[in-house]
Structure 1
């Protein structure tokens, strides 16, 4: 396959729920010269792997899903969100491809609704197993259980402590039924996939790599023989994935986890073809990781300087995000800023203080 002329590579998208628009400079990434498939269609992208797109009812209007041939059918990686446009696309894929290569399983990279949203629907429609990490399953179960109500109440206290006072907006964003509406229900996970598990699908071997930061339990899939990486949301070509510290976090330092995971992925072969959840497949993994890492290090230095005087997280948002923040983007920005501030706490550069019920951060 040829590569696109770097001068004509896809432009950076608008800011999305996945994160900030942050493209690499021209010529650092080489995009595959294969037109993106239309919704409900699939195209070959590598030996034994097909690329399909499921539309999303969001500002980020698609998710890439990957159909891995198994000999007697295929495994799909990720699913799309529970929306009629997503189901329509899958029904087209069923007619166009799955009628010849039956679906044999669903692999979910992580908990976010555009990835897990149609897992149960596909499982029931095709009678196939679902594979994901144990942590992803735990998080999904918490969304569909009584624990969601407790987390809902916890969210109000969390955001109030960080200086946000609009309780109506908090309740609207974190009500338990919101997640349920974006998904088709709780899939039954028949196999938990752990870090470095090797999955034998057809003639190929795929190694699962747990890469936390963007989401706990996030799994990438690496095929060293084919030099392929299905990267989920961990490495995207034109977006800096959202890294959030939120209420209920099991990971006290998600940005630290994310940066560590990037260095782990950087050890893969230099000519690895990256198959991302959003955007266009590309080569240049190490360059992309260096760009993402540098971006976060710059943000950390900026925040450390800002915290010469005690700051609430709401105080630092205008310096990190030079645009209007509202609705979901506001909450993701708060989570992103907190992830950076908590990283600085763990690095011994900033101290966290609780003053009159408010959490502030001050440089040491």
Structure 2
């Protein structure tokens, strides 16, 4: 395997969902190989294979990683509970698991495209599922019976930030909607902690808890192979959604995200990044710098905008230059709030209740 020369391969288009934010040409070096088709896999590094599971979304795929062990393999992330995803895994079962049986499933974080088929794979292959303790807590709250109370919390939360359509809130956050994206709650036989070393295949993999995009998000770093399985923390052409949201415990998710980026930036300069979406690449430090700069620009923009009081809904047209509807609207609102709350914690903006709404005002 080789990597393309900088600038020879344009940043590949990945999705219409979320905010497209590719690095400039020559900033990243993409692997010089074709992406695997649905349910196919290709060697990407010693003992590691790259596979793709299709998603029924604008974001039409997730990369999953097959890691060889002495007696089989471990998979990282699963795809969403949809027939096209199950079909792809059945292809992998026939073409790869028949030689290297599946021994465990590792999920990087709570989002349905990463955890959605964990229970299905566990039941099909009778294997353990591994994740962070915080991912398990959030999963249990979302799909384990607390959904109705979360729905009530969602209504109060979004109304306080300027959303007036209660029907839209209920449609987006009803528990059944999220339940359909997963195959159920897996039985978690092991929680993986920050900086825990996992001895899988070639070298050792160190789990790095990198909050911001999702609480309890785990990346996997292999210093021997100079590999980083980055989940959604670092993507080559997308700025991952960072949301301040109801039901979460992190009061400053953007602060957590930016700190996590700096932690990853300290890895070897020639690290090959294996992202959850898009094409593997080298240029981790450049990508971290580009993402950090993007968020700092957004923060300055919002601080200037809030010289007059603003609710979160007011700032969306200044942050997102496109039509926002359905889940995209709520993701955008969560992102705006993450930036506004960062400014509150930095002492640049204050939060104030006015007529039942939370306003943000520059100090």
TM-score by length of 2: 0.98
Aligned 8 A contact 2:144 2:185 in 1: no
- Distance in 2 (CA, whole Å) between partners of 1:179 and 1:9 is 35
Say if 2:9 is the partner of 1:8: yes
Aligned 8 A contact 1:109 1:220 in 2: yes
Shift of 1:2: 2.1
Aligned 8 A contact 2:9 2:30 in 1: no
- Distance in 1 (CA, whole Å) between partners of 2:162 and 2:130 is 39
- Distance in 2 (CA, whole Å) between partners of 1:58 and 1:134 is 28
Q: How does 1:95-106 map to 2 (within 5 A)?
A: 95-106=94-105
In structure 2, the residue matched to 1:51 is 50
Q: How does 1:185-334 map to 2 (within 5 A)?
A: 185-334=184-333
Q: Secondary structure at the match of 1:201?
A: coil
- Distance in 1 (CA, whole Å) between partners of 2:286 and 2:302 is 25
Shift of 1:143: 1.5
Shift of 1:34: 1.5
Shift of 1:214: 0.2
- Distance in 2 (CA, whole Å) between partners of 1:210 and 1:346 is 22
Q: Secondary structure at the match of 1:8?
A: coil
- Distance in 2 (CA, whole Å) between partners of 1:21 and 1:51 is 23
| 1:249/1:202 CA distance change after superposition, 3 Å | same
Shift of 1:8: 2.7
Shift of 1:28: 0.5
- Distance in 2 (CA, whole Å) between partners of 1:102 and 1:205 is 20
Shift of 1:10: 3.5
Q: Secondary structure at the match of 2:199?
A: strand
- Distance in 1 (CA, whole Å) between partners of 2:221 and 2:74 is 15
Q: Give the RMSD, CA atoms, in angstroms.
A: 0.8
- Distance in 2 (CA, whole Å) between partners of 1:223 and 1:8 is 26
- Distance in 2 (CA, whole Å) between partners of 1:348 and 1:27 is 37
Gap runs ≥5 in structure 2: none
| 1:203/1:29 CA distance change after superposition, 3 Å | closer
In structure 2, the residue matched to 1:93 is 92
Aligned 8 A contact 1:12 1:22 in 2: no
Shift of 1:147: 1.7
Shift of 1:144: 2.2
- Distance in 1 (CA, whole Å) between partners of 2:37 and 2:11 is 16
- Distance in 2 (CA, whole Å) between partners of 1:303 and 1:144 is 35
- Distance in 2 (CA, whole Å) between partners of 1:9 and 1:187 is 39
- Distance in 2 (CA, whole Å) between partners of 1:14 and 1:185 is 27
Aligned 8 A contact 1:63 1:114 in 2: yes
Q: How does 1:64-75 map to 2 (within 5 A)?
A: 64-75=63-74
TM-score by length of 1: 0.98
Aligned 8 A contact 2:29 2:281 in 1: yes
Q: Secondary structure at the match of 2:204?
A: strand
Aligned 8 A contact 1:71 1:203 in 2: no
In structure 1, the residue matched to 2:340 is 341
In structure 2, the residue matched to 1:358 is 357
Gap runs ≥5 in structure 1: none
Note the alpha carbon deviations across 1:193-212, whole angstroms, 9 max, x for none: 00000001134210000000
Shift of 1:39: 0.6
Note the alpha carbon deviations across 1:92-150, whole angstroms, 9 max, x for none: 00001000000000000000000000000000100100000000000111122332110
- Distance in 2 (CA, whole Å) between partners of 1:7 and 1:33 is 10
- Distance in 1 (CA, whole Å) between partners of 2:70 and 2:202 is 7
Q: How does 1:172-191 map to 2 (within 5 A)?
A: 172-191=171-190
Ranges of 4+ aligned residues in structure 1 off by more than 4 Å: none
- Distance in 1 (CA, whole Å) between partners of 2:244 and 2:132 is 20
- Distance in 2 (CA, whole Å) between partners of 1:334 and 1:357 is 18
- Distance in 2 (CA, whole Å) between partners of 1:73 and 1:11 is 32
Aligned 8 A contact 1:21 1:238 in 2: yes
- Distance in 1 (CA, whole Å) between partners of 2:121 and 2:2 is 34
- Distance in 2 (CA, whole Å) between partners of 1:14 and 1:89 is 20
